[in-house]
Amino acid sequence: MNLSWRRVLVLLMCATAVMLLAHGFAEAQCSMCRASLTSVTNSRFIRNFNIGVLVLLIPPVSIFCSIFVVLRKYRTTDNADEQR
């Protein structure tokens, strides 16, 4: 396993640790959603609403990250061509 894969693995482990530690404190609601949910006394509905907001966040984040991965891939191949 070369150095770059180790770096990616360490970064992934750190990101996972941060997400697990911040899980209890994360609120995935805007202020308007939070205000409308304060009148609801069903805690299960509020929890499911928070999970739904997080699920809707996954596609834009994955698209954003994949664009940067593709751009980085093509940038490194362009730099290798310039050095030759």
Give residue-wise pLDDT tens across range 19-60: 777 665 556 567 777 777 777 777 788 888 888 888 888 899
Computed over every residue of the chain, the mean pLDDT equals 77
Name the domain count of the chain.
Answer: 1
pLDDT of residue 63: 92
Chain-centroid distance of CA 63 in Å reads 11
Residue 3: band (very low, low, confident or very high) from pLDDT cuts 50, 70, 90:
low
The sign one gets for the Cα dihedral 36, 38, 39, 42 is positive
pLDDT of residue 67: 92
For residue 60, the enclosing domain spans: 3-83
**What count of other Cβ atoms lies within 10 Å of the Cβ of residue 28?**
14
